[in-house]
Each structure stands twice: as structure tokens, then as C-alpha cells.
Amino acid sequence: MKFGILVNEGPYTHQASDSAYQFTKAALEKGHEIYRVFFYNDGVNNGTRLTVPPQDERNIQVNWSELGEKYKLDLVVCVAAAQRRGILDESEAKRHGKNADNIAPGFRISGLGQLIETGIECDRVVAFGD
């Protein structure tokens, strides 16, 4: 089965990001395809490389980056939601006159068209969070 994943919550606010990560990992291990993971609303906070949780806690951003690298996942952060929360890649930072970017490895910024395409291309889109 081909899944699309929608993550609407930040990494340390609710269980949604952890649940999305665990679902995605389990689906991949069972041989399913993950077409795309789309981070929207506060879910875009999963895509910042500046998150520094305490050493004895899980690092959800690193978990997503590592899973993305291992399985060549398309980890997409919504551009509008990201900009509102100060998450920028190099080109968006330059475009807005900012002197730094903070997008995590393996993530990319794009628009809502990527979410629409996910719905069209997948057998199921599973949403995590409000």
C-alpha cells in the first residue's frame, strides 16, 4: 500500500509527531511505500535543525532525518507554515533577507500543492494531530 503522512503537531507538544514517526517506520519495515511525509501547521517544527532536547529524551527531528535518509523519504515542510514559525531553507532565508537558515537535513520546503499531490497519488493519507 502507498501511504501519505500528514503531521500537524510539533515534536514536543503532543504525541502526534511520535505516532506519525512510529507509524511511518513500521509501515516501511512491513514493505509499504511512503510517498511523502508532509509537515503542516505546528508540524513544521519537526523540520528545524535547531531543536536541542535534553540528552535523556528522544530527538524527534533527528529521528525523522535518519528515517528519511535510510528510506529516501520526501520530507516536505509547508512553506507558509514554516515562514510563520521562522523555519527557512537557504533560498527562503536569502529571499527574505535573513542571514541564516535552519531547515533540518533531509527536509525540504514546498507548498500545499505537494499535499494535494500526495492525496492524489496515495492509497491512503494518514493524518496525525489536529
Q: Active-site residue among 6, 7, 73, 78?
A: 78
Domain 2-128: which topology?
A: Hypothetical Protein Ychn; Chain: A, (3.40.1260)
pLDDT at residue 119 greater than cutoff 90: yes
According to the model, what pLDDT value does residue 24 have? 98
Whole-angstrom distance, CA of residue 130 vs CA of residue 127: 8
The stretches of 1-130 forming alpha helices (DSSP H) are: 16-29, 60-71, 79-84, 90-95, 113-121
CB 119 within 8 A of CB 4: yes
| Rounded Cα–Cα distance for residues 105 and 128 (Å) | 22
2-30 per-position pLDDT tens digit: 999 999 999 998 899 999 999 999 999 99
The answer to whether 35 and 121 have CB atoms below 8 angstroms apart is: yes
**What would the pLDDT profile of 32-84 be if each residue is shown by its tens digit?**
999 999 999 999 999 999 999 999 999 999 999 999 999 999 999 999 999 99
Annotated catalytic residue 122: no
Predicted confidence (pLDDT) at residue 94 exceeds the cutoff of 90: yes
Q: Which of 22, 24, 31 is nearest to 4 (CA)?
A: 24
Question: In this structure, what C-alpha cell is assigned to residue 70?
Answer: 535510510
Q: How confident is the model at residue 91 (pLDDT cuts 50, 70, 90)?
A: very high
* pLDDT class of 130 with cuts at 50, 70, 90: confident
Closest alpha carbon to 40 in 84, 2, 102: 84
- Grade residue 1 by pLDDT with cuts at 50, 70 and 90: very high
pLDDT of residue 13: 86
Exposure string (b/e) for 53-90, b if CB count within 10 Å is 16 or more? eeeeeeebbebbbebbeeeebbbbbbbebbbebebbbe
